[in-house]
Amino acid sequence: MNLTQLTSQIGLMFILMLIGLMANKLGFMHGQTSTDLTNILLYIVSPCLIIKAFEQPFSVNRLQTLGRVIVGIILIYGLMILITQLVFKPVKDLNLQRTMRYGAVYSNAGFMGIPLTSALFGSTGVFFAVASLAAFNIFSWTHGITLFTGKQGNRRDNFKQIILNPNIIAIMLGLILFVTAVPLPNLINRTITTVSSVNTPLSMIVIGNSLAAVRFNRQTLDKRLGWVLLLRNFIFPYLTMVVLELMGITGVPLYTTVLMAACPVAGIVVLFTLKVHGQPGPAVTLMSLSTLLSVVSIPLVFSLVQL
């Protein structure tokens, strides 16, 4: 993969974020607008992009590689969860500790990873990236939410969040289409293609809009958040690369999975904090700093992959 191409694509995405930020400052986007666009992206555009990625000739080798990638991702999540549990255990502030643990483990794979993967590797990249997206949803709604709710978490509700997630449904439908090689009707196929094409620009504009509302102060700029940034933006993506290479995974499957792992802190950390009536300041700050840092960290991680 060409590092110059990656850097150029990240530059384009940050320009789109800047447009979203300016739209907020000029009053073109309000809170409800951002929420509505987020729902459209998560529940309509992203599933279309996933289904589109599975519209390719069936290959046993490709399916086996996808299975190996899934096994690797599960191992990586296990390692990340263990490491963060040990590293952040001394943090006594419960609100800060759960924000740090969640932020270090879970990347913004859906909002930033899928658009970047699609732009760089097309449908083939998204095909392997869905493994990371599925794992994110499963772990986030089991381990992730438990960090915040503890024993109060409703397992039945969490299970519904996983099973009824449009992206998980799209992955299942996509796998059926891939294995059976059943083509979609032309009109439906064209509709899915058209809708999925707006994923990258719309995602970045929404992220930029959310960054416009960030206010840094002494309460939110806790120096301990620096450890989360180090793990999330640098160490864990490198860990992903090492584990996958030890499993013999190379090429596009390796690149896309590392790319998904190199994405900044997932924005859902803010939603989970609000869900338990916690102080969202550290979560918002962490997400914003990690996103800004990713313009440097993602190319750096990929330079290591190429080495």
Q: What is the pLDDT of residues 171-195, one digit of tens each?
A: 999 999 999 988 899 999 999 999 9
pTM: 0.87
* Residue entry with tokens 């899934």: 70
For residue 244, the model assigns a pLDDT of: 97
287 with 269: CB under 8 angstroms?
yes
Query: Percentage of residues in the chain with pLDDT exceeding 90?
Result: 53
| pLDDT reading at 234 higher than 90 | yes
CA distance 289 to 296: 12
CA distance 207 to 205: 5
* Residue entry with tokens 């032309």: 186
Query: pLDDT tier at 200 (50, 70, 90 boundaries)?
Result: confident
Q: In the numeric block, which tokens belong to residue 25?
A: 């400052």
Lowest mean pLDDT among 56-70, 130-144, 264-278, 287-301: 264-278
| pLDDT reading at 2 higher than 90 | no
Which of 77-86, 114-123, 160-169 has the highest mean predicted lDDT (pLDDT)? 77-86
CA distance 37 to 30: 11
65 with 225: CB under 8 angstroms?
no
For residue 294, the model assigns a pLDDT of: 92
